[in-house]
Amino acid sequence: MKIETKLLRPAVNAAKKLSCGRTTLPILSHFLLDGTDGALNLCATDIDQFSEAVVEKQAGNLPRLCIPAKPFTFLVDSAGETIDLESTDGKNLIVKSDGWSRRMSTLPAAEFVPRPDVKGMKQQAVPAHLLADAIKAVKWAGDENPTDQRFMKTLILIEMGAKTLKVSATQGSVFAQCSQKLICSDLKWCLPIKSADLFCQALRGEDVQLLHSDKRIAVVHSTGFFSSALSTEMWPEYKQTFAGERVSIGSVAVKPLLAALERAVTVYQTD
């Protein structure tokens, strides 16, 4: 199968967020490639989350292969304008581009975690782009590696109801919330912060369907699929994000504040 690198690279960069971390299960550090129908499907999972990207119809076919994520990501980043993927025995993958060739061993594709079943899930009617914008607006307040030990798993809270969509994020000492006027049914979802980027990317696809159950959410769109388990962690009380018993809230002009912050950061970095 011959693929334009510019089409494959975004799919790989998105998938590596799930499969290039540390894990005790070897299969979770692998991508699943499936080019049996003329398009290339690239899947990644960490069990809680599952991501699938479809690279538009390509020349040739490729059997289902479970390949190591980190080496494949490096090869795709190093490739030229096109990249050739070959497998003669269904057990090894040969990657070629710009005169170089690399052979990669694989794991049995049957061992890869199956895609979550969306059968029976309810469809939520909400403008996908509004939800993606709201998540992006508050994501900065979360942290995948929080220093506050009370919040080892930072979360994003999505609340719908009373003609309002609210999305909140916190890492303990910082809290952010974005509200949008929206007619929607009453729902509350609590997601791990690591789901935010892939969730937003899926929401910005075409022909988006947002599905949910008591334990998972899923986004189905024309060029891929994303699903995440809902978090069982308790969302912290708003008052816990503040130090002390009394809080004074005032207003300040934005430009002078930014200028002061820039000067302070400069001094901090110099020291």
Question: What pLDDT, in 10s, does the model give residues 38-60?
Answer: 788 999 998 889 999 988 767 78
Is residue 238's pLDDT more than 60? Answer: no
- Alpha-carbon distances of 136 from 40, 147, 152, 176, rounded to whole Å: 29, 22, 21, 11
Interatomic CA distance for residues 16 and 53, integer angstroms = 12
For 141-182, write each residue's pLDDT tens digit: 776 555 554 444 567 888 888 788 888 887 766 778 888 887
pLDDT over 70 for what percent of the chain? 86
Element housing 7 (H / E): helix 5-19
Residue-level pLDDT at 146: 52
For 55-103, write each residue's pLDDT tens digit: 876 778 888 999 999 999 999 999 999 999 998 887 899 999 988 999 9
Q: Which of 30, 112, 124 is nearest to 68 (CA)?
A: 30
Residue-level pLDDT at 35: 87
State the CB neighbour count (10 A cutoff) for residue 71: 14
What is the number of alpha carbons within 13 Å of residue 93 lying toward its C-beta? 29
CB-CB contact of 210 with 123 (8 Å): yes
Residue-level pLDDT at 168: 85
Residue-level pLDDT at 259: 84
Q: Which pTM was predicted?
A: 0.80
Cα of first residue to Cα of last residue in the chain, in angstroms, is 53
**Residue bearing the bigger pLDDT, 114 or 239:** 114
Element housing 192 (H / E): strand 187-192
Is residue 244's pLDDT more than 60? Answer: no
Split at pLDDT 50, 70, 90, the class of 15 is confident
Please give the mean pLDDT across all residues of the chain. Answer: 82
Residue-level pLDDT at 143: 62
- Alpha-carbon distances of 85 from 37, 66, 207, rounded to whole Å: 15, 13, 30
Kindly state the average pLDDT of the residues 115-143: 85
Six token digits for residue 229: 């388990």
Residue-level pLDDT at 45: 92
Is residue 248's pLDDT more than 70? Answer: no
What residue type is assigned to position 181 of the chain? K
CB-CB contact of 171 with 154 (8 Å): yes
Residue-level pLDDT at 75: 93
Residue-level pLDDT at 231: 83
Residue-level pLDDT at 152: 45
Q: Residue ranges of the alpha helices (H) in 56-163?
A: 69-78, 128-138
**Residue bearing the bigger pLDDT, 252 or 42:** 42
Is residue 240's pLDDT more than 50? Answer: no
